[in-house]
Structure 1
């Protein structure tokens, strides 16, 4: 199976962390959903007053949330793109996309090798 051994590269992880930024407290993201850490969704809808008042998360907890989200996104990408080998940069971009959106349907076209369509 294509991409079965691929993992997010260190450069991909750094780019994801830079793009998302590290926030050690709860915040409402652009969609007004409660989020923390490196873009980790806590729940849909705004944070409660109690969540907003919670103490900052230690770095280790932020990393745990990020690691779980990246592991999930990697699995989803590997499952969605089985018939076409991705380059490391393409895999990193796909993992970042899935990490941020949770959507894998747009990646299924990658199985055909039509990467221009994937980018669109």
Structure 2
């Protein structure tokens, strides 16, 4: 006769949604955020640009498309990104390098790249100078 073994029920926590805020801010605001973080005050994830012009030069429509493909996707290879972007590998590689250079993406030891967020919030105000 077979004995029935009851296994414990394991309830996994809901995955935590991580959102990054892309924005334009002054160096003073960034410094204040840093000081607050060093005091243990949660700040959230920010990628800050010095100007809207710099943000738009860095995050071109093609690069937004790459970020959209990578959001919540985990580490991806250049070949996978090329398929998602429907572009050629050289262009994708160049765009990925630009995003790596400004700290938007992370490179893993195996050559894959990661955008470690599930969502993107864009926050800046355009006004007259």
Q: RCO (CA 8 Å, sep 6+): is it higher in 1 or 2?
A: 2
TM-score bracket relative to the smaller structure: under 0.3
Alignment TM-score, normalising by the size of structure 1: 0.22
Alignment TM-score, normalising by the size of structure 2: 0.21
Computing the radius of gyration over CA atoms, which structure comes out larger, 1 or 2?
2
